[in-house]
Amino acid sequence: MQEAAERFGAQCIVVAIDAKRQTAEIKRQNEEEAEAWKVYIHGGRTPTGLDAIEWAQRMEAYGAGEILLTSMDRDGTKEGYDIPLTHAIAEAVTIPVIASGGVGNLQHIYDGLTAGGADAALAASIFHYQEYTVRQCKDFLAERGVRVRF
């Protein structure tokens, strides 16, 4: 039991956060202000009005074990994770963050784990149709000094 917990960590609650950029709105308020993201639910259709960074911090304070952070702007685009979003959330909390939304190639995974500061990188469709194998991904990351658990 202890061994299993050490290997995988104990069971945990992963809180999913779907975030969309609010650059236009923020710009109207203050040209100098940094980027901001809001939380959406129901697959990105319903805005909650919550700031994504504040919500992530509240979820950590309430006891979330991990955060699955999906950029609704990037999801499905294959243009890469929203790195500023990922970095902002990863900096704001101490629990692990899984980056999600937009992976199109192995460089994107590398970027999410390094510049984005994510603890894990979520991918789905790049492993279908033999675009890339997970093993290729591991080698790509290892060659660039990213320590990965496989």
Residues that bind a copy of itself (CB under 8 A): 5, 8-18, 39, 41-43, 48, 50, 59, 62-66, 68, 76, 96, 98, 100, 109, 113, 118-125, 127-128, 133-135, 137-138, 141, 146-150
At its nearest, how many Å lie between a copy of itself and the CB of residue 31? 31
Least distance CB 51 / a copy of itself (angstroms): 13
CA–CA separation, 21 vs 13, rounded Å? 25
N residues, the chain: 150
Residue 28 or 149 having the CB closest to a copy of itself = 149
Token digits of residue 36: 């901001």
Q: Which two tokens stand for residue 68?
A: 């699955």
Which neighbouring-strand residues pair with 47?
40
The residue among 36 and 123 lying less far from a copy of itself, judged by its C-beta, is 123
Q: Please report how many Cα atoms fall inside a 13 Å half-sphere around the Cα of residue 43, on the Cβ side.
A: 1
Nearest in space to 108 (alpha carbons), one of 90, 91, 89, 121 = 121
- Tokens 């243009």 locate to 79
Residue among 36 and 113 whose Cβ is closer to a copy of itself: 113
Nearer residue to a copy of itself within complex by CB, 29 or 133:
133
Q: How far is the CB of 21 from a copy of itself (least distance, A)?
A: 19
Question: Residue 45 is encoded by which pair of tokens?
Answer: 């259709």
Least Å distance between CB 100 and a copy of itself? 8
